[in-house]
C-alpha cells in the first residue's frame, strides 16, 4: 500500500538497508511483503487486529507492511513493558514474532473485534505510549499524508533516510512511509545521535535526510557533530515540539555552511503525522514559524476559544490526514470516521505570508522534550497513588505540584510523585520537577494551574540555588557511583549503565555500589536509564527513617544501616570461585571446579550486557571491549612471567596455548587455559550470533538460541572426552563452550520451565565431565544451579566490600596467583597473598584498562 507502484525502473532500487549496508530492493521488498502476507489469515474470513512491536529491522518492517497489504489492522507499539496496558485492552488476534520462519502467531482462531473497513493503523497519541487511548488511522490517512510529506520535502528516488526515531512514534513511522512512497530508501538503524555508529552509517551509506526532535538537535549541537562535513546529507527535518528560534537560526546557519537544509515541521499523530512543513530556504528569516500546510490540508484559527488573544486562535485542521477518531475501548474499532476537522489544542497565528506560528497551548496536553503528554492521565495516576496533584509542563520538564500527605515526609512524597509521573508520562523521573505544597486555587475553588506551575518552578529554582552542582542528591549519588566505576566525568542520567560503556567486567563494582544506594536492583537494571535508579534512592532512604534522614540532617542510606544486604548471585559466585581456585591450588583445601563455573558466569554476563544489543556490529564492538579487558592484562602478565621466570611462553601471550602449545600434564604453560577458553568461546558465540538467521532468532527469542547452542556444544564435549584421556581435554574451548552457552541461556531463562530446562542442560554437561573427580562436577553444577535459580542472595553487610573486591578482581587474581603461590610455603599465607596480590594489581590496572577499552566505542541499544 505504501510502495511506489510497480514501475520496473524502481523495482531494482534499494528500499531498505541494514546498518551493515545489506540492501533490499523495492521489488524484493514487495515480493517479501507478499510472501509474509500469505502467512496471515485471509481478510475475507474476517479482518484481524495484528500487534507489531515495531523495531528498526527488516523482519519488523516487512511484517508491518504485510499486515497493511493483507488488509488487516496494524496495532503498532513499542516493545517496552508499558505497552502492556494497550494489549490488555485491545487483545490482538495475531502477533508479529520477528521470527522469519514463523513471522506471525495466531492468538485467536476467530476475529475478536469488529474492525471498520477503512481502519488500517492504531497508534498511541504522541508520547503516550502506554495509554490505552489510541488514534485510529485509515488507509487514506496513511497514503495521502505520506504523499504530501514526500511532495513538501521534494523527496525523490535518490533520497535516503535513517531510523533516527522509533518506528512506533508517528514521526518516525512517517519517515518510512514517505520515503517508500517516493521510491527512496531507509537505513534501519538502532543508534542515537550520540552514537558514532549512526554517523558512520549516515556517511558510509549515503543518508540524505535525518529526522530529529528538538532534544536531538540540542544534543547534536552540543557534541559538535553538525559542525563536521557529512557529504550526502541534504536535509534535517525537525518536528516533535517547538525549537527555540535562536537554535533554529544556528542550525540553519550550520546547514548553509555544510550544504544541507533545515526543515521545521509541525504535526500530530491525530493528523497522521505532518500538518505543516517550512521550506528550508525560509528557516533563517522565519525561525519562529512551522511552515505552510502540506498538500490537501487546510488550516483555520478558532479565535473564540477562551485562551485566544492578540489575533491567535486554536489551530483547526481539515484534510485527508485527519484521523478517523480516537479509540478508548475495543468497541470503538468498529466506528467509521467521526471527524471532519481536528482541533489541535495548539494556539497559533497565520501571517500574511501564509506561515503558521505556534504561540501556545490550550489546557489538557503539554509537550515536554517533544513528547505530547496527556496531563489528565498523569493526574489520574497520581490520584490513584494517593496524591492530590496538578500537572503542567514547560517544554523541558513535567511540572508536578502535590499536596502534602499526613504522616509522610515531603521528600518521600516528592519521590513517589516523581516516580509515578515519570512512569505514566513515559519521560522518566529525571524529567519531572515536583513541589510539595498546598495547591493554589481560584476564587471558584478550582485549582489555579498557572499558579501551580509557577510554584513548581520557584521550588526547583530554590533547590538549584541551595544545592551544589548536580542538584538532586539521589541522582548525584547514582551518577557518582557510575562515574567512579567507569572512570568517566560525563554521566547522563537519561542513559543506561550499558550505554555509558558498562560491561560484564565493570558490572560487579556497579551492582555492589548501586545496591548500596537503591537496595535490590530491579531486573535488567543495567539497561534502564540511570534516572530510574536514582528515583529508587529516595524511597529507600525514606523507608530507613520516618523523616528520611538519620536525625542529623544527613540523608539516611537505609541499606547501609542494615546488618544484611543483597548481592547478585553472580557476584558472590565470582568471589567464592576465585577463593576456591586459589585455596585449591595452594592445597589449603580441595574445592575444584571454580574456573569452569566462572566460564558459565562469563557467558551469563556477556549476553546480559554487550551481546544483548540488537545489531551485529554492536555485538562485535561489545565483544571487542570485553576482549580488551580480558586479553590485554593476560598478555601483559604472561609476558612478565616469560621475561622474569620463564614460566610462560608465546603460546600464552597469544592466548592460544590449547592450539599450539604443549598440553602435557603439569606444565605451567597450561595455567592460563581459562582465559584461552573464554576468549575463544566469546569469539565463537559472537560469530554464531552474526549469522543472519541466528541473529533474527536471537532477537525474537534469545533463550531458545542459547539453549540450542548449548545442546550443540555438548556434542564436542562428549565426543572429544570419549576419544582421549588427556587431563587437559576438559579445559579447552571445544569441550568448555557448552558452559558459556549454558550461562547465556541462564541469563534469558524467564520462566520456571526454562530455568529447569537450563539446569538440566548443565546437569547433562556436568555429569562425568571429570570422571575421576565427581565432587568437581558437583561443584560446577551446584554453582550453576544457584546462578539460575537464586538471582540474588543476602550476605552480612560488612562482607559486601570484600565480596565486591574479590569478584571485581577475580580475573587478576587468577592471572597472578600461580607466580605468587610459588613464592611461599605456608598454605594459608599462599592463599591470602595470591588474593591480595591480585586485588592490588587489579586496583592499579583497572583505570588504564578501562581507558584502553574506551577506544572501542560502546554499543547502544
CB-neighbour burial class of residue 91 (10 A; exposed 0-12, middle 13-18, buried 19+):
middle
Q: How many angstroms separate the CA atoms of 120 and 72, rounded?
A: 7
Q: How many angstroms separate the CA atoms of 355 and 287, rounded?
A: 11
pLDDT at 367: 73
Report the candidate in 792, 742, 811, 799 with the shortest Cα–Cα distance to residue 594.
811
Residues 475-479: what's their mean pLDDT? 75
Q: How many angstroms separate the CA atoms of 714 and 770, rounded?
A: 14
Evaluate whether 720 touches 663 at the Cβ level (below 8 Å).
Answer: no
Which residue is associated with the grid cell 585455596? Answer: 583
Backbone torsions φ then ψ of 96, nearest 5 degrees: -75, 130
14-361 and 473-562: identical CATH topology: no
pLDDT at 542: 43
User: Which residues lie closer than 8 Å to 200 by C-beta, 6 or more apart?
Assistant: none
User: Which residues lie closer than 8 Å to 102 by C-beta, 6 or more apart?
Assistant: 39
CATH number, domain 473-562, options 1.10.12, 3.40.470, 1.10.10, 1.10.1200: 1.10.1200
> How many CA atoms lie within 13 Å of 467's alpha carbon, on the beta-carbon side?
14
Q: For residue 53, what are the CA distances in angstroms to 50, 95, 164, 169?
A: 10, 9, 17, 11
Q: DSSP string spanning 19-51?
A: TT--EEEHHHHHHHHHHHHTTSPPGGG---EEE
Report the candidate in 611, 652, 650, 597 with the shortest Cα–Cα distance to residue 785.
597
The string of pLDDT tens digits covering residues 88-128 is 899 999 999 988 889 999 999 899 999 999 999 999 875 44
Portion of the chain with pLDDT greater than 70, in percent:
88
Evaluate whether 679 touches 655 at the Cβ level (below 8 Å).
Answer: yes
C-alpha cell read off for 414 = 516528592
Give residue 688's pLDDT band: very low, low, confident or very high (50, 70, 90).
very high
The string of pLDDT tens digits covering residues 798-815 is 888 898 889 889 999 999
Q: Whole-model pTM above 0.75?
A: no
Evaluate whether 74 touches 11 at the Cβ level (below 8 Å).
Answer: no
b/e sequence 476-491, b meaning 16+ C-beta within 10 Å: bbbbebbeebbbeeeb
Sign of CA dihedral 80, 84, 89, 95: positive
C-alpha cell read off for 285 = 528569516
User: Tell me, which fold does domain 14-361 have in CATH?
Assistant: Rossmann fold (3.40.50)
Residues 331-348: what's their mean pLDDT? 92
Sign of CA dihedral 621, 669, 578, 748: positive
Of the listed ranges 53-67, 208-222, 512-526, 692-706, the one predicted with least confidence? 512-526
Q: For residue 93, what are the CA distances in angstroms to 53, 74, 85, 90, 117?
A: 14, 11, 16, 9, 16
Top-confidence residue, 428 or 834: 834
Q: How many angstroms separate the CA atoms of 820 and 645, rounded?
A: 12
Evaluate whether 367 touches 395 at the Cβ level (below 8 Å).
Answer: yes
Report the C-alpha dihedral over residues 469, 471, 474, 475, rounded to 10 degrees: -70
pLDDT at 541: 46
DSSP state of 589: -
Give residue 370's pLDDT band: very low, low, confident or very high (50, 70, 90).
low
Q: How many angstroms separate the CA atoms of 223 and 856, rounded?
A: 18
Residues 624-637: what's their mean pLDDT? 91
Strands 94-96 and 134-138, sheet pairing: unpaired
CB-neighbour burial class of residue 231 (10 A; exposed 0-12, middle 13-18, buried 19+):
exposed
Q: Which helix (H) or strand (E) holds 393?
A: strand 389-393
Q: For residue 694, what are the CA distances in angstroms to 347, 697, 704, 739?
A: 51, 5, 10, 19
Of the listed ranges 48-62, 459-473, 551-565, the one predicted with least confidence? 551-565
The string of pLDDT tens digits covering residues 716-761 is 999 999 998 888 888 888 999 999 999 999 988 878 899 999 999 9
Residues 666-692: what's their mean pLDDT? 90
User: Which residues lie closer than 8 Å to 608 by C-beta, 6 or more apart?
Assistant: 504, 507, 526, 747
Q: How many angstroms separate the CA atoms of 759 and 745, rounded?
A: 10
C-alpha cell read off for 24 = 533490499
pLDDT at 487: 65
Q: Domain ranges in the chain? A: 14-361, 365-466, 473-562, 570-612+664-853
Give residue 329's pLDDT band: very low, low, confident or very high (50, 70, 90).
very high
Q: DSSP string spanning 648-683?
A: --HHHHTT-HHHHS---TT-GGGTTHHHHHHHHHHH
Evaluate whether 472 touches 419 at the Cβ level (below 8 Å).
Answer: no
What's the chain's average pLDDT? Answer: 85
Rg of the chain taking only CA atoms, in angstroms: 29
Strands 389-393 and 371-374, sheet pairing: unpaired
Q: How many angstroms separate the CA atoms of 378 and 382, rounded?
A: 6
Residues 25-47: what's their mean pLDDT? 94
pLDDT at 363: 65
Top-confidence residue, 699 or 41: 41
CB-neighbour burial class of residue 773 (10 A; exposed 0-12, middle 13-18, buried 19+):
middle
Sign of CA dihedral 704, 706, 708, 711: negative
Q: DSSP string spanning 450-496?
A: HHHHHHHHHHHHHHHHHSPTT-SHHHHHHHHHHHHHHT-S---TTSB
Residues 544-569: what's their mean pLDDT? 47
Residues 519-535: what's their mean pLDDT? 72
> How many CA atoms lie within 13 Å of 435's alpha carbon, on the beta-carbon side?
24
Task: Please tell us whether the domain made up of 365-466 is placed in CATH 3.30.300.30.
Answer: yes
pLDDT at 537: 64
Q: How far does CA 744 lie from the centroid of its chain?
A: 19
pLDDT at 471: 47
Evaluate whether 97 touches 55 at the Cβ level (below 8 Å).
Answer: no
The string of pLDDT tens digits covering residues 301-317 is 999 887 777 788 999 99
Q: DSSP string spanning 63-123?
A: HHHHHHHTT-EEEEE-SSGGGHHHHHHS--SEEE-S-SSS-EEE--SS--S---TTEEEEE
Query: Does residue 512 register a pLDDT over 80?
Result: no
Backbone torsions φ then ψ of 485, nearest 5 degrees: -70, -45
DSSP state of 549: B
Report the candidate in 121, 125, 174 with the shortest Cα–Cα distance to residue 146.
174
User: Which residues lie closer than 8 Å to 38 by C-beta, 6 or more apart?
Assistant: none
Residues 73-82: what's their mean pLDDT? 85
Q: How many angstroms separate the CA atoms of 837 and 815, rounded?
A: 10
User: Which residues lie closer than 8 Å to 505 by C-beta, 6 or more apart?
Assistant: 626, 629, 630, 811
Residues 444-455: what's their mean pLDDT? 72
Q: How many angstroms separate the CA atoms of 752 and 9, rounded?
A: 54
pLDDT at 551: 30
Top-confidence residue, 261 or 544: 261
The string of pLDDT tens digits covering residues 639-657 is 999 999 888 999 889 988 8
Query: Does residue 566 register a pLDDT over 50?
Result: yes
pLDDT at 523: 67
The string of pLDDT tens digits covering residues 155-170 is 999 999 999 998 998 9
Helices 507-518 and 530-544, interaxial angle, to 10°?
40
Top-confidence residue, 548 or 315: 315
Count helices and strands in the chain by DSSP H and E runs: 29, 27
Q: Which residues pair with 18 in a beta bridge?
A: 188
Q: How many angstroms separate the CA atoms of 553 and 455, rounded?
A: 25
Amino acid at each position: 500500500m505504501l510502495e511506489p507502484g510497480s514501475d520496473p525502473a524502481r523495482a531494482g532500487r534499494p528500499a531498505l538497508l541494514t546498518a551493515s549496508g545489506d540492501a533490499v530492493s523495492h521489488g524484493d521488498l514487495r515480493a517479501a511483503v507478499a510472501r509474509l502476507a500469505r502467512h496471515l489469515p485471509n481478510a475475507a474470513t474476517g479482518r484481524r487486529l495484528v500487534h507489531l512491536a515495531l523495531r528498526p529491522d527488516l523482519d519488523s518492517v516487512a511484517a508491518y507492511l504485510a499486515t497493511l497489504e493483507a488488509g488487516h489492522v496494524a496495532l503498532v507499539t513499542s516493545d517496552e513493558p508499558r505497552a502492556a496496558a494497550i494489549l490488555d485492552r485491545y487483545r490482538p488476534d495475531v502477533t508479529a514474532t520477528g521470527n522469519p520462519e514463523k513471522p506471525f502467531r495466531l492468538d485467536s482462531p476467530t476475529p475478536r473485534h469488529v474492525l471498520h473497513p477503512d481502519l488500517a493503523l492504531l497508534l498511541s497519541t504522541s508520547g503516550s505510549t502506554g495509554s490505552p487511548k489510541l488514534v485510529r488511522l485509515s488507509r487514506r490517512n496513511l497514503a495521502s499524508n505520506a504523499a504530501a510529506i514526500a511532495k513538501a520535502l521534494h523527496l525523490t528516488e535518490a533520497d535516503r533516510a535513517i531510523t533516527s526515531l522509533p518506528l512506533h512514534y508517528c514521526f518516525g513511522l512517517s519517515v518510512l512511509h514517505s520515503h517508500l512512497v517516493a521510491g527512496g530508501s531507509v537505513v534501519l538503524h538502532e543508534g542515537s545521535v550520540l552514537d558514532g555508529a549512526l554517523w558512520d552509517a549516515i556517511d558510509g551509506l549515503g543518508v540524505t535526510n535525518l529526522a530529529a526532535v528538538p532534544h536531538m538537535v540540542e544534543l547534536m549541537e552540543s557534541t559538535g557533530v553538525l559542525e563536521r562535513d557529512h557529504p550526502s546529507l541534504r536535509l534535517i527535518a525537525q518536528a516533535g515540539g517547538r525549537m527555540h528560534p535562536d537554535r533554529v537560526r544556528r542550525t540553519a546557519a550550520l546547514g548553509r555552511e555544510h550544504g544541507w537544509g533545515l526543515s521545521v515541521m509541525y504535526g500530530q499523530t491525530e493528523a497522521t503525522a505532518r500538518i505543516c512543513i517550512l521550506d528550508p530556504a525560509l528557516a533563517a528569516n522565519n525561525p519562529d514559524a512551522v511552515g505552510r500546510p502540506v498538500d490537501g490540508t487546510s488550516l483555520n484559527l478558532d479565535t473564540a476559544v477562551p485562551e485566544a488573544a492578540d489575533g491567535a486562535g486554536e489551530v483547526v485542521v481539515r484534510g485527508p490526514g485527519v484521523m478517523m477518531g480516537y479509540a478508548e475501548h475495543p468497541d470503538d474499532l468498529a466506528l467509521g470516521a467521526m471527524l471532519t476537522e481536528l482541533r489541535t489544542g495548539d494556539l497559533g497565528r497565520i501571517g500574511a505570508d501564509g506561515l503558521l506560528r505556534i504561540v501556545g497551548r490550550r489546557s489538557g496536553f503539554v509537550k515536554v522534550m517533544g513528547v505530547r503528554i496527556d496531563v489528565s492521565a498523569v493526574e489520574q495516576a497520581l490520584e490513584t497513588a494517593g496524591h492530590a496533584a496538578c500537572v503542567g509542563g514547560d517544554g523541558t520538564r513535567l511540572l508536578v505540584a502535590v499536596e502534602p500527605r499526613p504522616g509522610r515526609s515531603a521528600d518521600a512524597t516528592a519521590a513517589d510523585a516523581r516516580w509515578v509521573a515519570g512512569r505514566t508520562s513515559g519521560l522518566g523521573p529525571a524529567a519531572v520537577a515536583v513541589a510539595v505544597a498546598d495547591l493554589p486555587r481560584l476564587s471558584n475553588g478550582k485549582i489555579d494551574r498557572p499558579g501551580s506551575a509557577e510554584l513548581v518552578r520557584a521550588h526547583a529554582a530554590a533547590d538549584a540555588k541551595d544545592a551544589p552542582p548536580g542538584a538532586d542528591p539521589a541522582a548525584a549519588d547514582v551518577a557518582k557511583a557510575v562515574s567512579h566505576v567507569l572512570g568517566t566525568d560525563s554521566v547522563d542520567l537519561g542513559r543506561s549503565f550499558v550505554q555509558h560503556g558498562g560491561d560484564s567486567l565493570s558490572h560487579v563494582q556497579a551492582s555492589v555500589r548501586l545496591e548500596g544506594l537503591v537496595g535490590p536492583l530491579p531486573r535488567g537494571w543495567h539497561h534502564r536509564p540511570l534516572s530510574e535508579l536514582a528515583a529508587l534512592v529516595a524511597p529507600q532512604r525514606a523507608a530507613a527513617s520516618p523523616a528520611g534522614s538519620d536525625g542529623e540532617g544527613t540523608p539516611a542510606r537505609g541499606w547501609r544501616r542494615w546488618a544484611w544486604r543483597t548481592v547478585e548471585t553472580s557476584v558472590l559466585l565470582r568471589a567464592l570461585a576465585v577463593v576456591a581456585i586459589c585455596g585449591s591450588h595452594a592445597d589449603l583445601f580441595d574445592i575444584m571446579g571454580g574456573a569452569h563455573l566462572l566460564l558459565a558466569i562469563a557467558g551469563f554476563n556477556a549476553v546480559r550486557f554487550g551481546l544483548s544489543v540488537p545489531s551485529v556490529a554492536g555485538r562485535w564492538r561489545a565483544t571487542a571491549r570485553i576482549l580488551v579487558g580480558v586479553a590485554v592484562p593476560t598478555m601483559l602478565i604472561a609476558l612478565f612471567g616469560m621475561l622474569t621466570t620463564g614460566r610462560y611462553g608465546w603460546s600464552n601471550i597469544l592466548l592460544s596455548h590449547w592450539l599450539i602449545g604443549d598440553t602435557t600434564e603439569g606444565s605451567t604453560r597450561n595455567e592460563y587455559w581459562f582465559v584461552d577458553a573464554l576468549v575463544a568461546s566469546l569469539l565463537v558465540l559472537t560469530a554464531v550470533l552474526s549469522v543472519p538467521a541466528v541473529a533474527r532468532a536471537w532477537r525474537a527469542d534469545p533463550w531458545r538460541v542459547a539453549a540450542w547452542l548449548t545442546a550443540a556444544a555438548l556434542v564436542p564435549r562428549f565426543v572429544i572426552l570419549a576419544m582421549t584421556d588427556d587431563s587437559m581435554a576438559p579445559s579447552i574451548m571445544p569441550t568448555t563452550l557448552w558452559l558459556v552457552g549454558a550461562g547465556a541461556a541462564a541469563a534469558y531463562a524467564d520462566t520456571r520451565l526454562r530455568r529447569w530446562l537450563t539446569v538440566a542442560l548443565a546437569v547433562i554437561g556436568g555429569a562425568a565431565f571429570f570422571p575421576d573427580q565427581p565432587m568437581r562436577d558437583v561443584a560446577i553444577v551446584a554453582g550453576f544451579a544457584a546462578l539460575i535459580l537464586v538471582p540474588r542472595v543476602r550476605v552480612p553487610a560488612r562482607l559486601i566490600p570484600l565480596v565486591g573486591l574479590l569478584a571485581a578482581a577475580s580475573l587478576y587474581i587468577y592471572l597472578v596467583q600461580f607466580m605468587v603461590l610459588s613464592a611461599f610455603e605456608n598454605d594459608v599465607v599462599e592463599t591470602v597473598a595470591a588474593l591480595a596480590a591480585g586485588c592490588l594489581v587489579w586496583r592499579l590496572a583497572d583505570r588504564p584498562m578501562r581507558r584502553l577499552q574506551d577506544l572501542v566505542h560502546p554499543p547502544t541499544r
